[in-house]
């Protein structure tokens, strides 16, 4: 599909539901729309391949206008692009797909901030994430976004129990909007340009918010130099996630040793270095803080202890380095560079390889319920990218959520 065809598809997407949608707007005093109209509009989107496998909300021009009124930006502004595919997404097309994802109009500034953070993010290959090809990777990398600031409470984001699960409209639909933009506008569809081998359930949506109220530490946005009154979105690319069960831990080392061992598992290593997002439960965060540990201490401990022994890498066939991609391969592999191997250091009488390049490659947020000692390690693609404004290391690309001057004083709809 060409860029022009994509834009035409977006126009068609808005027009396709007008008959059913406008019938609803014109329906007198509470009269129900014939279910066949609604069903027909939904099925039209399935037939055109404009869904992620779940039903979408048919947009109308009048509802689209509500979304565009939420921001003081041109509908024709390009907010995402894939230069190597010659494809672009305008603000208007982003709004259309946000409607289809089930967003409310007041969510749209968050979607745009998410796209702004995506553009600011630099990938493992020195290019923007969209143009780096990571969205088409066989690994199945997916975006994960973290929301900070007052907008979490204003819009009803879940930052507590079931943080990665269903049941909360902002989390579910805002993350889904990004996926629909990738599929419908940029053409990243399974079996076509999305070449994931297994993919990841988070490809449907993965948008969380930090539990600032139950965290003993400053929020990630404040770490990055934003004021506590600012609302932000941080953007990262995740590969997979694993839970850390440390329900009976009584010392910081109990929790973080499990974290370090998880980060250092050989299965995640395709290159010499890795990166991770540590989503710390409030119970674990309070334990760490009660012993005087802050986020900097957490990063330093994990970086110092996330190591693989030479023996472990040999068993996994990862003691050689390939010529072109510099991936870890068996030393006897045809593509292995002769005499090249991962960097090892001696520790406790054995050769060990440090999986993280520095403490900067550990991002720490607090989220989830304060009901169990369970945290999550999320393996990230590439190192973290944006220097912190407070000198506390490096943080993900982040963008401030900016509401329209026309809509900033309006009250949100009930969830």
What pLDDT is attached to residue 63?
96
- Residue 51 CA to residue 99 CA, distance in Å, equals 12
Cβ neighbours of 65 (radius 10 Å): 12
Residue 107 pLDDT > 70: yes
Query: Residue 393: what pLDDT?
Result: 52
d(CA 109, CA 33): 30
- The mean predicted confidence, pLDDT, of the chain is 86
pTM beyond cutoff 0.85: yes
Is the pLDDT assigned to residue 188 strictly greater than 70?
yes
Mean pLDDT value of segment 22-32: 45
- Which of 10-19, 256-265, 398-407 holds the top average pLDDT? 256-265
Per-residue pLDDT band at 262 (split at 50, 70, 90): very high
- Return the minimum-mean-pLDDT range out of 113-127, 262-276, 377-391: 377-391
Q: What are phi and psi of 138, to 5 degrees?
A: -65, -25
Confidence category of residue 294, pLDDT binned at 50, 70, 90: very high
Q: Quote the pLDDT of residue 396.
A: 87
Partners of 240 in the β-ladder: 379
Residue of 61, 88, 76 whose CA lies nearest to 4: 88
pLDDT of residue 291: 98
Mean pLDDT of 230-248: 93
pLDDT in the model for residue 407: 58
The domains of the chain are located at 310-354
Averaged pLDDT for residues 186-209: 92
Lowest mean pLDDT among 17-31, 112-126, 204-218, 333-347: 17-31
What pLDDT was estimated at residue 12? 53
Please check the confidence at residue 122 and state whether its pLDDT lies above 70.
no
């Amino acid at each position: 599909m060409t860029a022009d065809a994509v834009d035409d598809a977006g126009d068609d997407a808005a027009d396709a539901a007008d008959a059913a949608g406008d019938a609803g707007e014109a329906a007198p005093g509470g009269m129900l729309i014939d279910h066949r109209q609604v069903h027909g509009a939904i099925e039209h989107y399935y037939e055109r391949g404009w869904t992620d496998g779940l039903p979408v909300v048919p947009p109308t021009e009048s509802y689209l206008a509500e979304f565009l009124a939420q921001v003081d930006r041109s509908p024709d502004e390009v907010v995402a692009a894939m230069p190597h595919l010659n494809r672009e997404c305008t603000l208007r097309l982003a709004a259309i797909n946000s409607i289809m994802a089930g967003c409310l109009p007041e969510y749209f500034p968050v979607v745009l901030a998410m796209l702004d953070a995506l553009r600011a993010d630099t990938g493992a290959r020195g290019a923007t994430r969209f143009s780096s090809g990571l969205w088409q990777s066989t690994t199945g990398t997916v975006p994960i976004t973290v929301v900070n600031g007052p907008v979490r409470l204003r819009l009803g984001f879940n930052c507590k129990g079931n943080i990665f699960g269903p049941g909360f409209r902002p989390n579910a639909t805002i993350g889904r909007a990004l996926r629909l933009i990738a599929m419908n506008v940029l053409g990243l569809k399974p079996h076509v340009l999305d070449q994931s081998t297994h993919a990841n359930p988070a490809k449907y949506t993965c948008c969380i918010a930090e539990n600032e109220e139950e965290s003993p530490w400053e929020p990630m946005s404040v770490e990055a130099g934003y004021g506590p009154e600012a609302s932000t979105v941080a953007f990262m690319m995740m590969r997979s996630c694993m839970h850390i069960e440390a329900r009976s831990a009584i010392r910081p080392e109990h929790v973080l040793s499990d974290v370090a061992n998880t980060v250092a598992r050989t299965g995640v290593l395709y290159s010499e270095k890795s990166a991770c997002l540590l989503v710390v439960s409030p119970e674990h965060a309070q334990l760490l803080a009660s012993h005087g540990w802050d986020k900097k201490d957490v990063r330093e401990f994990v970086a110092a202890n996330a190591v693989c022994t030479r023996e472990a890498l040999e068993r996994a066939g990862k003691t050689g380095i390939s010529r072109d991609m510099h991936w870890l391969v068996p030393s006897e592999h045809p593509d292995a560079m002769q005499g090249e191997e991962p960097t090892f250091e001696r520790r406790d009488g054995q050769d060990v390889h440090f999986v993280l390049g520095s403490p900067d490659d550990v991002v720490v947020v607090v989220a989830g319920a304060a009901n169990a000692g369970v945290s999550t390690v999320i393996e990230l693609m590439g190192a973290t990218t944006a220097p912190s404004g407070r000198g506390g290391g490096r943080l993900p690309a982040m963008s401030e959520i900016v509401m329209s001057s026309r809509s900033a004083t309006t009250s949100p709809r009930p969830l």
